[in-house]
Amino acid sequence: EPEVTQTPSHQVTQMGQEVILRCVPISNHLYFYWYRQILGQKVEFLVSFYNNEISEKSEIFDDQFSVERPDGSNFTLKIRSTKLEDSAMYFCASRAMPSYEQYFGPGTRLTVT
């Protein structure tokens, strides 16, 4: 069964450093998403991406965040200058059109020290 994959599973970085989180969505899906879950809190929407551009973004997704689909398979989330409060589990998800169902990857745990 096709699945969403994410790398790395755990990333430790120092405050102020740039990080790139990588995702490979399910191959025939056209909508891609990033969510985050700070430990013990809700899963929060960050951004959705369709047709090579951002379709929706939340207030959390400020100028230090960016997303890209650099080739036909990868979908990346870049955090330019990490802060302690960026420490969270980051989930990638993808969706086929016109389905309502989003399929999630296993997540990347980001720890900012």
Residue whose CB is less far from another protein, 33 or 75? 33
Residue 13 Cβ vs another protein, minimum distance, rounded to whole Å: 21
Residue whose CB is less far from another protein, 65 or 104? 104
User: How remote is the C-alpha of 92 from its chain's centroid?
Assistant: 4
State the DSSP code for 63: T
DSSP track, 13-45: E-TT--EEEEEE--TT--EEEEEEE-TTS-EEE
Which residues form the interface with another protein (CB under 8 A)?
Answer: 31, 33, 35, 41-45, 48, 50, 55-56, 58, 91, 93, 95, 100-107
Cα–Cα distance for residue pair 65/47, rounded to 1 Å = 10
Cα–Cα distance for residue pair 37/27, rounded to 1 Å = 25
Residue 16 Cβ vs another protein, minimum distance, rounded to whole Å: 28
Residue whose CB is less far from another protein, 9 or 17? 9
Residue whose CB is less far from another protein, 1 or 71? 1
Residue 14 Cβ vs another protein, minimum distance, rounded to whole Å: 25
